[in-house]
Amino acid sequence: MASCHIRSISLPSRSHPLTVNIEEQLCKLNASQSSSIEHKLSGLKNLFKSVDDILELSLAQRTISSERQSHSVENAINGSLELLDICDTTRDLFSQMKECLQELELSLRRRKGGDSSFTSEVDAHMVSRKKLNKAISKCLRNLKKKERNFTAATLDNNSNLENMISLLSTVQEISLVMFESILSFVSQPKVKSLPSSWLVIPKLLQSKRISCEVEIELNAVEKIDAELLILKSSNDINLSQLQKLLKGLETLESSIQKAEEELECIYRRLVKIRVSLLNIQNH
């Protein structure tokens, strides 16, 4: 995953507490690549709240308004729309993932276990997951492309504006990386660091001979996928196995539901940021 260099974004003369707070939050997010999805979402939510707060400052408003026709201000406003689109897409993909899990849970509960195979239920889920993963992969490719093409704005004449645009630019840069990481949570697993292929994971789980490396590699979504492959390959599923899988599905659904709620809060805060920037530009 890409990492970002945190530039100095202090406003002139002395740092405002809000600016210092944003710098600290950016550094924490930049260092949170291995943290939980809940931590990343919470970090983004707090970051955007602080950005909205700083745009309420008269100094920030005067600075942006004085150069409202400049290319750098236009880029900042376009960047706010870009983050809104990314957040909306991420929220929609999480919603689709939750629907996939709910449909699977309903189909499994209807069967209640027994001697017959669960092949049809698992296959139907995997078809839905494949379609969803295609959309996620496309979004991830777009995010990586934006990260590669990202360049920080530089100005020559107005140090106030330069610092303000630097703040917004760095926020956008870190946010792109965080959304990439958040989306990766619901994407199908990559097998680079696994022994041979994804199909080896169910065998390892089934035999209970799992290395620490593989345990670390699997997140909650991947574990469910692995358990489903076990379910598909077994001819005799007892009730306790099915109940364990259903419990895992409920837990994962709950996590995705919480992520959706956090993404909704983040979306609303991004809307406020964009409205603030447009209002400053137009007055």
Express each pLDDT in 214-258 by its tens digit: 333 357 888 888 888 887 777 776 778 788 889 999 999 999 999
80-89 pLDDT, tens per residue? 999 999 999 9
- Name the DSSP class of 114: B
What does 147-159 look like in DSSP terms, one character per residue?
HHH------SS-H
pTM: 0.80
Sign of CA dihedral 210, 214, 217, 221: negative
pLDDT score of 22 more than 60: yes
Find the mean pLDDT for residues 141-152: 78
Q: Nearest-CA neighbor of 133 among 86, 187, 199?
A: 187
Structure confidence at residue 189 (pLDDT): 57
Kindly list the domain boundaries of the chain, sorted by start residue: 18-23+35-57+68-151+160-188+220-282
Structure confidence at residue 166 (pLDDT): 84
Structure confidence at residue 23 (pLDDT): 87
C-alpha 91/C-alpha 149 separation (Å) is 24
pLDDT score of 207 more than 60: no
